[in-house]
Amino acid sequence: MKKFLRLLVLSTVAFASQMVAQTETTTCCFPTTFAGAGSTLQGQADTTTGDNKNKSLSVFITALYNGVHQCPTFTYNTQAGNNSPEGISGTIQFPGAQFFGGTDVPPASDQLCPNGPLLNWPVAVVGIVPFYNLPNQMTPLNFTAEILAEIFSGQHKHWSDVQAAHHAFNLNGKDTDPVTSTPITIVVRGDASGSTFDFTQYLSDVLGKATPMWTLQGFGPFPVNQWTQAYGFPNGSSALYFTPPPTGTHGVLAAVTGKAGAIGYVGYNNIVAEGLFPANNNNVGNVENPHSGSAIPGPFIKPNPTTFALAMQNVMSDPQLRYSTINSQVTGAYPIASPTNLVTLACQFSDCQAIELKKFLNFYITYAQNNAATLGSGALPSSVVAQFIKQLDCLASSESCISTKVCSCCVDKNTGLSTCCVGGTCPSSTQPCPEKDRCKDKCKDKCR
C-alpha cells in the first residue's frame, strides 16, 4: 500500500511538472491579441467563404503568421470605416488597442522617429489601377494621364466619346458605336484614402503645371470628400458619379463590378485577392509612363508585380523608410506604384510586446517579398529590406528605450504620446518631461 501511494505521489508530481512545463512553453504575451487596422488596400472586407480565403495583404499574412505562432494572435480589421489615415492616427491615439496600422502613404516626417513616436515599415510595392466594367472589351484599354483626368472629371459621358478623342485608347466592340455606346459611371472613394492620394498624385505630377485643376490642392493627403473639394463635380457632370461614393477598397470593387460602364481605381493586389480577373485580363487598363520623350502616346505599361517592383529600382536610401515612387522615370515601370506601409509606435509598453512585434514584422517582410507575385504586389529592393531589418532594433519597450537611447521612449497611456525622459520615468499629463530632457535626436546613436 505504501509503495502504491508513493508511486501515486510521484506520478502526480511528474504530471504536475509536465503541465507546468507546457504552460511555460505556451505562456502568452499580454495582451493575447495584437490588433491592426487602417488601409483597406491591405485589408479589404472579406466576402468569401470556405476555402477561398481573403488574400488581401495584411489579412492574409496575419492569418499565416497565426498558423505558425499561435500566441499572441495578430489581427487586421476589415470593417467599414478603416482607411490609411486611421492606420496612422489609431496607432498613435489608441496604443492599448491598435498595435500597428496600415497606410498607403507614409506618415508625415514629424510623426516619425527621431522626432515623433512612430516607425514606418514599407512592406510591398502596390499598383493603383484603373478598373472598369466593359463586357465587350476584349483587350486592355490604354490610359494616359490626360485620358484619366478627362474621365474622372466628367468630361466624357460615353465610352465612345473617349475613343473619339484619343485614338490610342484601344476601345473595341459596340462601345465604339455612338448609337449603342455604354454610358460612363465614375466610381471614386467617398472616404479619406491613400489610394486616392496615389492615383491623383500621378495626375498632378503629369498634368499639374499644364492643367491647374489637377494640382494636389483638395487632395491631401487624406482630405474628406476629396473629389467634391477639388472639382465640385465639374461641368455639370455630377450625374456621372456613382452615389453615394463608396468607402473602402471593397466598396469600389463592388460598385464597379455591379454596374456596366463603371470605372474606378483600386489596388491591383485587391483585384487579385478577390479573383476578379477574367481570363483575358480585360478589366484593368495599361497606364502610360510619360518619360519616353516621344510625342506619340506610350509606352503603356501593363500593371503586374514586375512593373510595380521596377518603380522602386535604384531608389535613394531614406532614414525614415519613406518612399513615394509615383510617376517613376525607370523604363518599364508602372507609373502609379508606391510602397504600402505598416506603422508602429517606436516604444511599446513592455519588452514582451516589442519582441512579439519584431517577430511579426520580420515574418511579414520576409513572406511579402518571397511571395509578392502571388499576392499581386511588387517586391521591395534588397537595400530597403536591409534597412527594414536594421530598423527592428529601434522597436523596444519604454524602459529599454531610455537605457539604449532608441528613438522616443515613453508612451503616455493617457494621451498616447511618445516622449523620453532622461530620469527614467514616463511622463504623464500632469507631469510631462521637461523639454530639455527629451531625447528626440539620440535615437540616431543606435538606429540610424
Q: Is the dihedral of CA 212, 215, 217, 219 positive or negative?
A: positive
Work out the end-to-end distance of the chain between its first and last CA atoms, rounded to an integer number of angstroms: 70
Q: In this structure, what C-alpha cell is assigned to residue 356? A: 512579439
Sequential pLDDT tens for the chain (448 residues):
444 334 333 333 333 333 333 333 446 666 788 999 988 888 876 554 434 455 788 989 999 999 988 788 999 987 756 788 888 988 888 877 899 999 988 998 878 876 677 899 999 999 999 999 998 888 899 999 999 988 988 889 999 999 999 999 999 877 777 777 899 999 988 887 888 888 888 888 888 666 655 555 544 444 445 565 555 554 445 668 888 888 888 889 999 999 999 999 999 988 888 777 665 557 999 999 988 777 888 899 999 999 999 999 988 888 889 998 999 999 999 999 999 999 998 877 777 888 899 999 999 999 999 999 989 999 999 999 999 998 888 887 655 554 444 444 444 444 444 444 333 344 444 555 444 444 444 433 344 3
Alpha-carbon span 294 to 99, nearest angstrom = 48
pLDDT at residue 16, rounded to an integer: 34
pLDDT at residue 46, rounded to an integer: 58
**Burial letters 326-343, b for 16+ CB under 10 A, else e:** bbbebeebbbbbbbbbbb
Q: Which CATH number is correct for 127-302, 3.60.15.30, 2.130.10.10, 3.30.1490.20, 3.40.190.10?
A: 3.40.190.10
Alpha-carbon span 384 to 396, nearest angstrom = 21
pTM score, two decimals?
0.80
pLDDT at residue 419, rounded to an integer: 43
pLDDT at residue 230, rounded to an integer: 55
Alpha-carbon span 111 to 92, nearest angstrom = 9
Q: In this structure, what C-alpha cell is assigned to residue 100? A: 500597428
Alpha-carbon span 230 to 217, nearest angstrom = 7
pLDDT at residue 100, rounded to an integer: 94
For the chain, domain boundaries:
127-302, 398-448
